């Protein structure tokens, strides 16, 4: 019997680059000559709300960038933000494709992402062709590693936690999944992941 009913993938740091992590923010802030320290002081609270789907991209940008007049437009800044999403070097997209094509289990996303970047990333890189569902923070109203995020995903799936495998690059998110009873792998490159999946009998 196949070892899992469901395999869940994080997106940023596993399949693609992080959409709006500190490296991506730094690159865009430099592009538009914005003060990084001032931006970061405004960023945390509205970003949490944006990732949970509580506010829109425009509300996030109003709080962090366009609280004062700028020499660039909202569209220009947001395009630069989205452009930070790229295929991850040594990422797991090929492995995701293999698992999805095998039809041996359900495959989905369990990721933290704001709605507009999430939908851009899924469409731009064709991820919905692999995913049967997406437990994205912007749809769930929760963010990893909150225990409720994992519990709600399991409730929706209706599968025993031990029949669910989760793959994420951040230790705190992996620990949260294990605390919920899932099997979890910390992603550290495609080769290492492939080896672990072979050991588990997935590949």
Which residues of the chain fall below pLDDT 50? Answer: none
Kindly state the DSSP code that residue 3 receives in the 8-state scheme. S
Q: Name all domains of the chain by residue range, CATH numbers in brackets.
A: 6-17+88-200 (3.40.50.1000), 22-82 (1.10.150.240)
Report which of 162, 180, 178 is spatially closest to residue 170, judged by C-alpha positions. 178
In this predicted structure, what is the pLDDT of residue 162? Answer: 97
Contact 74, 58 (CB under 8 A): yes
Contact 68, 61 (CB under 8 A): no
In this predicted structure, what is the pLDDT of residue 68? Answer: 96
Tokens of 93: 């997209």
In this predicted structure, what is the pLDDT of residue 109? Answer: 98
Tokens of 151: 């519990």
In the chain, what is the straight-line distance between the N-terminal and C-terminal CA atoms, in Å? 13
In this predicted structure, what is the pLDDT of residue 131? Answer: 98
In this predicted structure, what is the pLDDT of residue 156? Answer: 98
Q: What are the C-alpha distances in Å from 138 to residues 23, 88, 112, 115, 149?
A: 22, 22, 7, 5, 11
pLDDT 10s digits, 21-62: 999 999 999 999 999 999 999 999 999 999 999 999 999 999
In this predicted structure, what is the pLDDT of residue 53? Answer: 98
């Amino acid at each position: 019997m196949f070892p899992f009913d469901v395999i869940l993938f994080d997106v940023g740091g596993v399949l693609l680059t992080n959409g709006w992590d500190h490296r991506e923010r730094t690159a865009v802030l430099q592009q538009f000559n914005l003060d990084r320290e001032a931006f970061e002081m405004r960023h945390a609270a509205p970003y949490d709300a944006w990732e949970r789907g509580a506010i829109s991209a425009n509300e996030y940008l109003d709080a962090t960038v366009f609280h004062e007049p700028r020499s660039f437009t909202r569209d220009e800044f947001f395009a630069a933000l989205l452009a930070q999403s790229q295929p991850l070097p040594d990422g797991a997209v090929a492995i995701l494709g293999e698992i999805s094509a095998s039809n041996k289990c359900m495959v989905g996303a369990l990721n933290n992402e704001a709605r507009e970047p999430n939908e851009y990333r899924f469409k731009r890189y064709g991820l919905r062709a692999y995913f049967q569902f997406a437990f994205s923070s912007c749809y769930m109203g929760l963010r990893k590693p909150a225990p409720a995020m994992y519990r709600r995903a399991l409730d929706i799936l209706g599968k025993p936690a031990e029949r669910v495998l989760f793959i994420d690059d951040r230790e705190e998110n992996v620990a949260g999944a294990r605390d919920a009873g899932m099997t979890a792998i910390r992603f550290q490159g495609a080769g290492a992941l492939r080896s672990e999946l072979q050991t588990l009998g997935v590949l």
